[in-house]
Amino acid sequence: MKRIGNTFALLAIIVAGHTTAQAEDPLPSWNDGAAKKSITEFVAKVTKEASSDFVPIAERIATFDNDGTLWCEQPMYFQLVFALDRVKALAPQHPEWKTSEPFASLLKGDVKGALAGGEPAIAKIVIVTHAGMTTTEFEQIVADWIATAKHPKFKRPYTECIYQPMVELLAYLRANGFKTFIVSGGGIEFMRPWTEKVYGVPPEQVVGSSIKTKYEMRDGKPVLMRLPEINFVDDKTGKPVGINSHIGRRPIAAFGNSDGDQQMLEWTQAGSGVRLMMLVHHDDSVREFAYGAESKIGAFSDALMVEAKKDGWTVISMKDDWKTIFAFASQAAP
């Protein structure tokens, strides 16, 4: 009889464990409200086999912007901070930078002056910091930087400046059979060294902007050299192009936060069946940053807000919808 008792005990534990898992809130950092409800209702619909809204697992594709959607993008894009830090690190090998812009201003600590040169200035910075090395070397440079650099406001590694509610959302979707992809205007090879560890998104599910690479032999070993030439810009109308190129299926859910995500959400919505489109709105100046239509980084224009309302996209208020923003700051909203 002891064996029977054990079997029953085991069964009881399994059943109890199952019940607990069911009852546990998979999105504990989200306040109860329309945003959270739109997520859980969408997932319930597409995973219910008998329903006409059911979507087979292979087609459960969800795409996420990164800057401003999964991690912060203020006071400037983290990849730009990386580039500026690289200029400083490389300066000793480039004495000529002392007298040539945008490097001269940058090395004097005048970031605004350096960036005053606009896109050509930024292009110069990107080329000297992102090209001219192998893909393996660049991966190591990114890994070293991301392991040590800290956010100026939060005094934490950038990989901790990620939104806990979105990390929960990624996990919740994956637990429901979704494949989660990042589709970002950021550099694809800037993200891949850390997205798997930080978001659970493997390199092959990261789509981003890129420069061209070239296969060649160096000391008898094959390498991919990073060339000073833009290959693809994964922003605005580029996002559906990148999705089509890398994924080859239309997402059924898409998450963004700015004008750069508009076309990704349109493309997602234009498929048949039930869809989920959401935009993170940065309206919490206390716990994160508040910025919108006028921001030079991550602008959420009035036109985007109009389109969101017209098309039934859900706007997430960071202030109202998120109980916790960062895992390191578990305080409730003020």
Give contact residues for a second copy (rule: CB under 8 A): 3-4, 7, 58, 61, 135, 179, 188-189, 192, 196, 202-206, 210, 213-216, 221-222, 224, 231, 237-238, 240-241, 244-249, 263, 266-267, 270
Smallest distance from a second copy to CB 80, Å: 22
Which token pair is 19? 């019940």
The residue among 105 and 134 lying less far from a second copy, judged by its C-beta, is 134
DSSP character string of 271-319: SSS--EEEEEE-B-TTTS-B--TT-SSS---HHHHHHHHHHTPEEEEHH
The residue among 110 and 216 lying less far from a second copy, judged by its C-beta, is 216
Smallest distance from a second copy to CB 126, Å: 18
Smallest distance from a second copy to CB 99, Å: 37
Smallest distance from a second copy to CB 214, Å: 7
Smallest distance from a second copy to CB 245, Å: 7
Residue 197 backbone dihedrals phi, psi, to 5 degrees? -70, -40
Smallest distance from a second copy to CB 293, Å: 23
Length reported for the chain: 334
Smallest distance from a second copy to CB 11, Å: 11
* C-alpha dihedral sign at 224, 229, 232, 234: positive
- How big is the chain by its Cα radius of gyration, in Å? 22
The residue among 138 and 163 lying less far from a second copy, judged by its C-beta, is 138
Smallest distance from a second copy to CB 107, Å: 32
The residue among 155 and 221 lying less far from a second copy, judged by its C-beta, is 221
Q: How far is CA 178 from the centre of its chain?
A: 16
Cα 242–Cα 263–Cα 188 angle in degrees, nearest 5: 30
Cα 288–Cα 162–Cα 326 angle in degrees, nearest 5: 55
Residue 324 and residue 166 in contact, taking contact as beta carbons nearer than 8 Å = no
The residue among 79 and 213 lying less far from a second copy, judged by its C-beta, is 213
The residue among 172 and 181 lying less far from a second copy, judged by its C-beta, is 181
Instruction: Give the burial string for 195-228 (b: 16+ CB within 10 Å, else e).
Output: beebbebeeebbbbbbbebeeeeeeeeebebbee
The residue among 45 and 246 lying less far from a second copy, judged by its C-beta, is 246
- State the alpha helices, DSSP H only, in the chain: 2-23, 34-47, 78-90, 103-107, 111-115, 118-130, 135-148, 164-175, 188-199, 238-246, 262-269, 302-311, 318-321
The residue among 245 and 330 lying less far from a second copy, judged by its C-beta, is 245
